[in-house]
Amino acid sequence: MSIASHSYHWMKTGFRPAKSRLSRWNATSGQIMKRCESLKKMTDDKLERYSLELRWRAKSGEPLRKILPEAYALVRESAWRTLKMEHFPVQLMGGIALFEGGIAEMQTGEGKTLTAVLPAYLRALMGKGCHVITVNDYLAKRDSEIMGPVFNKLGLSVGCITSDMEDEDRRIAYGLDVTYGTANEMGFDFLRDRIRIGASAPGQLEQAITNHKNSGKEPLVQRGNYFALIDEADSVLIDEARTPLIIGLIQPNDAASVNLFRWSNRATHQLESEEDYVYEPKKRSSYLTDSGCRKILLMAKPSLLDSIDTERIYKQVEQSLVARFGFLKDRDYVVVDDEVVIVDESTGRMMDGRKWQDGLHQSIEAQEHVPITAATGQAARITVQSFFQNYAHLAGMTGTAAMAEKEIRKTYKVSVTSIPTHRPCIREGSKARVFKTMQAKRMAVVEEIERLRLKRCPILVGTPSVEASEALGDLLAMKAIPHQILNAKYHEQEAEIVRKAGEPARVTIATNMAGRGTDILLKDDVRENGGLHVIATEMHTSARIDRQLIGRSARQGDPGHYQFFLSLEDELLRCLEMSQIEKLAKSAKADKNGELPAGWLSFFKNTQDFLEKLHRKQRRDMLKQEKNRIEMFHKMGLDPYLEWTE
């Protein structure tokens, strides 16, 4: 688009950047729609030859922005011929936004998977590889299989990376034009390649890669980081950003270490709060007082602990205190086959293969009386922020990016633009209800479910944890109300359950993020009865997660409804001191049903705001530490991603 055209849309929208972009993209989408008409009479062979011509032009140096209208028209026609699906104008606008390197906020049900094909095809024309990032293996495999024929008809190849693949299969998948996969898998492949290359001084990476290729050693898996398109971008770029990707070195446990983990767990039960230790719930940290240190020093210990220095014993007891008070079973982790498995805070999904560092994971294993696994050191590490900053071009799409716009723009240097919906959103919400106790709240939720089922409405109940979903399920079972509990343990089953959640009178209890990426389809009679009703049983630590749950209803112009049910015993408030919670409970004046006045809602919102700021600060501090670490490694002439040097 010419400079004159840019200026026209800039002035037309009163010099407002976001409005100007939308106006320009809308005009371009109109041009694409017109081009599509001329492609209708083309044979499949001619369509593929046209695609090959575009690829030649791209590789010859013609700017991709000039090719964009032709490329997007080709993709739209290919999608119609293979899937009987055509991009709406708003999807074309989203595709343009993604090509220009921004985050497109597109509401649930607006067809983000189909939209992603547009910029993926255009960027793939360069032949440098295009990575489409999804939140789990199931969605990566599903999207690559469904959208693969659209690319194939235009002469492009498509692959998928899943956690169970061997290196040779990964190498082949990365060598194709478009590769689907998760951020974790691609990040770990990046780190494994850095280990294969070996430690190299900054500025000498290209030479190190060349030397590696000529050395006859095992070839690299990835071929570079040219373009990444991230689905559910806020989940990947924000929610997962506090957890660095680490390739561990197994450090076998000796008998003394195993004894230390188990003894420390027992020792915490002999310590007095405030007198011997201080636990800070807001920071999820603890420290021993002078009195606590003396008590630990004088406690009877197994003889094996004589070989362990006192500082390490103090530190491990502090970790055991954090494990005891800061991490709850069926909220932060589950025990499966005598193994502690971490549960992702924002998605409610099990994170197989992940471990907490610095002895925390082993502390929880001691607490649960399961076998103590080996601790891990670090062979290589990278934060999510640093990994995606390696890409020459970065784009993302999600339903809830605007709320984190400032952080995304500052961290990743990309803009966020809200794309209009294809049809107006007619979602309705009722005032939140607040209760004094968890039991009173759950009974009210059950009553509401009974009322909605009489109207034949489908109900999706969002819970923050496995524990909460099962507790509510028990109450529904007592009332003989048919329901489906979704704990997000198996992605394939998860998608199928969520897909059926729109059937009349169906009750689905799910963790807040379960089934993300799968549409809930409604029958005609359900639409007439008011559509899908979402009941949020708690506020999450992030308002974006609440919005994602609410966004499951009223997709594509369908009717829908949502309501929050809260209590003073909710997990959100566990970040507060116990004395503060007890004081609140005493001051709360509930009615005969245990319900509190609506004014209590502001207290929950303030707590949520506090946690959002805390987590934002943690991400900012982590990014600052990572930046300082990389600068230090650069000054020392060492590889910033490898913790060891050759």
Which residue ranges are tagged as binding site for ATP? 91, 109-113, 519
- Residue 174 burial by Cβ neighbours in a 10 Å radius (0-12, 13-18, 19+): buried
Contact 623, 385 (CB under 8 A): yes
CB-CB contact of 363 with 319 (8 Å): yes
Q: Are 512 and 548 in contact (CB under 8 A)?
A: yes
Q: What distance lies between CA 296 and its chain's CA centroid?
A: 40
Half-sphere exposure of 2 (CA within 13 A, CB side): 3
* Residue list for the binding site: 91, 109-113, 519
Tracing tokens 């659209």 back to the chain, one arrives at 150
**DSSP designation for 127:** S
Angle at 401 between CA 623 and CA 66, to 5 degrees: 95
Q: Are 559 and 531 in contact (CB under 8 A)?
A: yes
- From 581, 577, 590, 516, select the one nearest 552 (Cα to Cα): 516
CB atoms under 10 Å from CB of 82, counted, come to 18
**Nearest residue to 176 (alpha-carbon basis) of 240, 130, 143, 141:** 130
Return the sign of the alpha-carbon dihedral for residues 56, 62, 63, 66.
negative
With b for 16 or more beta-carbon neighbours within 10 A and e for fewer, the 374-412 pattern comes to ebbeebbbbbbbbbbeebebbbbbbbbbbbbbebbeebb
Half-sphere exposure for 257 (CA within 13 Å, toward CB): 15
- On the 0-12 / 13-18 / 19+ scale of CB atoms within 10 A, 475 is middle
Asked if 143 and 178 count as a contact pair (C-beta separation under 8 A), the reply is no
Residue with tokens 């197989």: 352
In DSSP terms, 339 is beta-bridged to 336
| Residue 10: strand, helix, or coil | helix
Distances (CA, A) of 49 to 38, 194, 240: 15, 38, 42
Instruction: Dihedral sign for Cα 406, 407, 413, 415, please.
Output: negative
Rounded-to-integer distance, Cα 620 and Cα 193, Å: 27
